């Protein structure tokens, strides 16, 4: 599911970047849209930090694996501490605390706070981490063939280049919003394909359950499986390609205010 999550994050990031008016914090150039989409694509892998088998946990070697184990344990503790008698007991913390709207808001707020407090170094750090995840999520076959250090170096170079080219768009609000959007896209993807997600988990009690699993009505549910996953990934890829083309080469088609990117 990693590549599907990243690709749906990229599609959503492009859509938000392309259609959100500038007055509402929307992008002012094609490059800004691509940076926003890159961060959203990376953030769309974040919730699976609670699963040591996920794309994300395997992305930064032993470090991310250890963080994933700790996150899973913390998520399990949060579930157990807040569950009611009606909530089912769990043995694993996967798809609990990090799959809620609270986590989406928290991840965005922490990102924005970091960038506001520590300025450019933390902005580069956020871009390095998120764009690095996006590369691994969007091109899993390519990254697996490359050396770990090479992919990490590329992510860092990309982060520095982006920050250097676009200091204004690496602002705290835009980065925070892109992270929240990416996490929400992941949660929505899990909601329609898996057994649902505890959207308001731990806080809001529904029918006596504090970890109520939200799922769409039966006809709208997509059965998880290799085939459906591929169809979804393909649809997201198509949307991403069309939007990327419009943003870069034909902004007038989507009513965007910037000029087409010219390749010399």
Q: Name the closest residue to Zn ion (Cβ).
A: 190
Nearer to Zn ion, 185 or 244 (CB): 185
CB 68 within 8 A of CB 54: yes
Q: In terms of C-beta density within 10 A (0-12 exposed, 13-18 middle, 19 or more buried), how is residue 260 classed?
A: middle
Return the residue of 32, 48, 72, 87 that touches Zn ion, per CB under 5 A: 48
Site for Zn ion in 150-209 (CB under 5 A): 190
Which residue lies nearer to Zn ion by CB, 120 or 230?
Answer: 230
The residue (of 47 and 251) whose beta carbon lies closer to Zn ion is 47
Task: Output the CA angle 149-5-106, nearest 5 degrees.
Answer: 85
Is residue 225 packed enough to be buried (19+ CB in 10 Å), middle (13-18) or exposed (0-12)?
Answer: exposed
Of 96 and 240, CB closest to Zn ion: 96
Cα–Cα distance, 220 to 139 (Å, whole number)? 29
Give least dist CB 229 to Zn ion, A.
13
Q: How far is the CB of 108 from Zn ion (least distance, A)?
A: 17
Least separation in angstroms between residue 78's CB and Zn ion is 16
The DSSP symbol for 223 reads P
Least separation, in Å, of the C-beta of 197 and Zn ion?
8
Residues that bind Zn ion (CB under 5 A): 47-48, 190
């Amino acid at each position: 599911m990693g590549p599907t999550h990243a690709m749906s994050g990229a599609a959503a990031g492009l859509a938000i970047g392309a259609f959100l008016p500038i007055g509402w914090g929307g992008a002012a150039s094609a490059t800004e849209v691509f940076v926003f989409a890159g961060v959203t694509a990376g953030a769309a892998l974040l919730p699976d930090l609670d699963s040591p088998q996920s794309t994300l946990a395997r992305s930064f070697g032993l470090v991310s694996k250890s963080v994933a184990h700790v996150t899973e344990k913390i998520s399990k503790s949060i579930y157990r501490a807040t569950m009611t008698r009606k909530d089912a007991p769990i043995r694993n913390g996967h798809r609990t605390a990090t799959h809620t709207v609270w986590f989406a808001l928290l991840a965005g707020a922490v990102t924005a706070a970091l960038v506001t407090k520590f300025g450019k170094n933390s902005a580069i750090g956020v871009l390095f981490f998120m764009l690095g995840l996006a590369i691994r999520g969007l091109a899993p076959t390519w990254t697996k063939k490359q050396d770990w250090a090479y992919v990490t170096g590329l992510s860092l170079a990309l982060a520095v280049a982006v920050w250097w080219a676009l200091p204004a768009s690496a602002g705290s609000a835009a980065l925070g919003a892109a992270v929240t959007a990416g996490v929400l896209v992941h949660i929505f993807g899990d909601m329609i394909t898996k057994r649902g997600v505890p959207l308001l988990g731990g806080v809001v009690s529904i029918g006596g359950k504090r970890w109520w699993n939200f799922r769409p009505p039966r006809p709208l549910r997509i059965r998880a499986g290799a085939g459906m996953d591929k169809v979804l990934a393909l649809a997201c890829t198509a949307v991403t390609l069309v939007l990327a083309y419009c943003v870069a080469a034909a902004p007038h088609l989507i009513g965007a205010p910037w000029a087409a990117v010219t390749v010399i």
